[in-house]
Amino acid sequence: MMDAKHFEYKVAASGRVNIIGEHIDYCGGKVLPAALSLKNTVYVRPNGTNTINISWTTLPDKVSLDIDRLEEYRGLKYGNYQAGSALMWRRAGHRLVGCDMLQDCKVPFGSGLSSSAAIEVSTIAALATVAGEQFDNVEVALCAQSAEREYAGVNCGIMDQYASACGKKGMAMLLDCKTLDCEYLPVELGGYELVITDCCKPHSLADSKYNERRSETEEAFAILQKQLDITCLADITPVQFSRCAHMLPQVLRMRAEHVVNECQRVQMAAQAMRAGNIELLGRLINRSHDSLKNLYQTTGFEPDVLVDAARNHPACIGSRLTGGGFGGCTISLVKKGMAEEFEDYLLKAYARRTSYNAVCYHAEISDGITVEKTV
Ligand code: GLA
């Protein structure tokens, strides 16, 4: 078994939470994610061959990828994300060199905290590092997004890969997904702290439902564009929307209404964070979840139970599902010093009402890609 200490570099990229701005990155909206200290770490060294050899700290599997046949690994159970990432990096014009990689994923799979983005981003950064290349984090994020779309079949936006690559310690990112302009905002929550809870429900339908939601927003855009001078759904103001909403069939109207209002909530949330108005942030977080539940319909029984239970605790001023939805993690704003009591209550309340046991993760807001030379 390869041991981490035999590698030349340690390259890591983060999982993320999204504070607010859900399902609007692919509509050209602004989102407010933050990178987490839960990371995928790739230990890497060049091996002088034409092969990328991959092993894992948590799996017995070993996979060898031929650099010239990277299209052929879509069907792999493990190693497909790495193959897709390497392929996209190469297609973008970068040199790949043969290497040995040990992958150590501390982002829980299927948690909605973007383990896949962390794997893709760290793999590309590791490949660039071992090839002696200075890389641009945004380009790494864009290639990682292509890998997710073209290789994993999830037609995702840029939020996760951007956050995974470009995160900064202690900062949220107000990311404009149309222009990729990013404003870093300190996450100073005053008398509150963020609690992350996984509802631990497997969500296998998520990818197809995700793509379905995305197509619905594209259909809504195609209709509204005939009436309005817009380049994406996120351009629409609530006033414009109230005038044009009747043009849309009911389901598309619900989806578009979520997008238009969620874009407003992000602006208000950023303002609330700048002003230190955490109670307002909590209310916006609640409204975001309610809109995902009622209009966008990407929550589900278990996440809704978890959010309801959280909101019933007096220490909690806001709770919502974060990420793509249909399962995964919630974030809750909880009074400082009461998180332990809150978690205890929440896990018990959830277990009573569902057939799953939830888990709380303890993570800091951290840097995105990090590279260390180890020998
Ligand atoms: C997933 C996608 C992101 C984003 C979120 C929903 O995490 O990868 O691009 O669309 O869902 O906000």
Residue 142, number of CB atoms within 10 A of its CB: 18
Q: Cα(314)–Cα(126) distance, rounded to whole angstroms?
A: 45
Q: What pLDDT is stored for residue 375 in this prediction?
A: 83
Q: Is the CB of 326 under 6 A from ligand 1?
A: no
Is 263 inside a domain boundary? no
Is 285 inside a domain boundary? no
Is 192 inside a domain boundary? no
> Span 59-87, mean pLDDT?
96
pLDDT band at 204 (very low <50, low <70, confident <90, very high): low
Q: Which residue has the higher pLDDT, 264 or 4?
A: 264
At 236-257, the pLDDT tens digits run 999 999 999 999 999 999 999 9
How remote is the CA of residue 207 from the centroid of ligand 1, in Å? 10
Q: Cα(149)–Cα(158) distance, rounded to whole angstroms?
A: 10
* Torsion region of 276: left, alpha or beta (phi above 0 gives left; psi -120 to 50 gives alpha): left
At 350-371, the pLDDT tens digits run 999 999 999 999 999 999 999 9
Q: Is the CB of 323 under 6 A from ligand 1?
A: yes
Q: Are 321 and 112 in contact (CB under 8 A)?
A: yes
SS3 182: strand
DSSP annotation of 108? P
Is 276 inside a domain boundary? no
Q: Cα(232)–Cα(245) distance, rounded to whole angstroms?
A: 15
At 254-271, the pLDDT tens digits run 999 999 999 999 999 999
* Average pLDDT of every residue of the chain: 96
pLDDT of residue 1 exceeding 60: no
| Structure tokens, 199 | 């509802």
**How many residues would you count in the chain?**
375
- How would you classify the pairing of strands 62-66 and 171-176? unpaired
Ligand 1 atom nearest residue 158's Cα = 9
- How would you classify the pairing of strands 51-56 and 316-321? unpaired
Amino acid identity at 23: H
Q: What pLDDT is stored for residue 205 in this prediction?
A: 55
Q: What proportion of the chain, given as a percentage, has pLDDT over 70?
A: 98
CATH number (domain holding residue 50): 3.30.230.10
Q: Cα(171)–Cα(159) distance, rounded to whole angstroms?
A: 15
Q: Which residue has the higher pLDDT, 2 or 91?
A: 91
Q: Is the CB of 160 under 6 A from ligand 1?
A: yes
pLDDT of residue 203 exceeding 80: no
pLDDT of residue 294 exceeding 60: yes
Number of domains in the chain: 1
Q: What are the residue numbers of the active site?
A: 160
Is 315 inside a domain boundary? no
Q: Is the CB of 20 under 6 A from ligand 1?
A: no
Ligand 1 atom nearest residue 116's Cα = 8
DSSP characters over 232-291: SGGG--HHHHHHHGGGS-HHHHHHHHHHHHHHHHHHHHHHHHHHT-HHHHHHHHHHHHHH
Ligand 1 atom 9: residue of nearest CA:
157
Is 303 inside a domain boundary? no
Ligand 1 atom nearest residue 214's Cα = 10
> Span 282-295, mean pLDDT?
98
At 165-187, the pLDDT tens digits run 999 999 999 999 999 999 999 99
Structural domain harbouring 134 = 4-186+365-373
> Span 97-108, mean pLDDT?
97
Q: Is the CB of 28 under 6 A from ligand 1?
A: no
Q: What pLDDT is stored for residue 90 in this prediction?
A: 98
pLDDT of residue 152 exceeding 90: no
Is 323 inside a domain boundary? no
pLDDT of residue 207 exceeding 90: no
* Torsion region of 200: left, alpha or beta (phi above 0 gives left; psi -120 to 50 gives alpha): left
Q: Cα(118)–Cα(110) distance, rounded to whole angstroms?
A: 12
Is 217 inside a domain boundary? no
Amino acid identity at 320: R
